Amino acid sequence: MIRTASQRAYSEALRYIPGGVDSPVRALRAVGETPLFIRRAQGSVLTDIDNNRLTDYCLSWGVFLLGHGERHVRRAVRRAVRAGTSYGIPCEGETHLARAINGHFPSMERVRLVNSGTEAVMSAIRLARGFTGRDLVVKFAGCYHGHVDHMLVAAGSGVATLPMASSKGVPEDFVRHTACLPFNDPDAVRRFFEQRGEQVAAVIVEPVPANMGVVRPREGFLELLRQVTAQSGALLVFDEVITGLRLSAGGAQQLFGVTPDLTTLGKIIGGGFPAAAFGGRADIMAMLAPDGPVYQAGTLSGNPVAMAAGLATIRRLEAPGFYDDLQRRCDRFYARVREAIEGRDITLSSAGPMFTLFFGCGRAASFDDVLGADTERFARYFRRMLERGIYVSPSQTEASFICSAHTDSQLDAFVDALRQSIL
């Protein structure tokens, strides 16, 4: 695969942008590569500036459940752009999208729209502290909740592949109000809440972590979090930036039947534009300014173009049978992947249309399990798949994604490339 133009573009980017990228994982250093620079994306295919065509299983880190440039979304965006690209004044699109979110996530009785998952988490945690009058927040090792200072404690995503536990520049005074527990360890949760439950403002969790690779919750674990938070007066926050609208129309909370007090959403709800949201019980959300004393604001929040793209995306996901059809395609794909990796010390972990192949660890139930994976083997797999025209998420601690634009023939081609790449 010729990548002369991308390499030249990267050299130029390095002159002006730290690391040459605006988000660290894009540098591809963990897999021994240099970044691709993309010219165009359509459906499930990326075309880089060297005119290499790649089947995309990263999908802008999970943004595109419909694939890139879905025609109904494009049409809605064109209409919105003609009317104006930003107002800083309310538009009806904000209400339409908030109402659609509430329709799929009834626990989000009130919704505040923001611009990124990080912003949604930051605001939800501030709100939880303001509502409870407590400071302590509990998270889980390997769960990533954006680059908020007090959430960069044993974080997943790209942080897990950096040579640091969290991040420089985060004062110890910030993180002393964050407790980190092992994911999928009910005994650790019970012990902690027996000792400090009355100090906890909120427990935040990815209900199905995707930022240490895909790790499914053990049966009863999410229910336990609901139980201990309710008993202690703490709030339960589901970070569904990735799982929301992906695992089902109502996200992980619908799939597992566990109702959180607050939810954060992102990625899919922007339809390819910067948009995210947090929301929850009406009495909690009433604490937000201008109604209450918890401040949150944003110049571009509720951007009309992002609102149009997000609403058009949700309407397409509401088509009868959408999720059933996608899951049937995923099930067929996963069955073929398991056949390809049988006996090779590779673990497939999946939840709906997101998956991770873990190399060299027998199970993937916790962050400790994931940290035992062979990142060099993953890097070789990534490079070999790339040479065969397939782009997976470039980190052992990330999820890859399937969208409705992937065809059966493309999924079969993935399996064929996988067989060759793990020889």
Q: Which residues are catalytic?
A: 144, 239, 267
Helix (H, G, I), strand (E, B) or coil at 204: strand
Question: What strand order describes the sheet that includes 235-240?
Answer: 110-114, 276-280, 262-265, 235-240, 200-205, 136-140, 178-181
Q: Is the peptide bond before 290 cis (omega within 30 degrees of 0)?
A: yes
The pairing of strands 390-391 and 53-56 is: parallel
Helix (H, G, I), strand (E, B) or coil at 330: helix
**Any idea of the CA torsion for 364, 365, 371, 374, to the nearest 10 degrees?**
-10
- Tokens representing residue 398 in the block: 């990330």
Task: Give the phi and the psi of residue 153 in degrees, each rounded to 5.
Answer: -125, 115
d(CA 404, CA 29): 30
- How many angstroms separate the first and last alpha carbons of the chain? 20
Q: What does DSSP assign to residue 280? A: E
Task: Give the phi and the psi of residue 280 in degrees, each rounded to 5.
Answer: 175, -150
For the chain, the C-alpha Rg in angstroms (whole number) is: 21
Q: Count how many Cα atoms sit within 13 Å of the Cα of residue 145 in the half-sphere of its side chain.
A: 32
Phi-psi region of 20 (alpha: psi -120 to 50; beta: other; left: phi over 0): left
d(CA 148, CA 153): 10
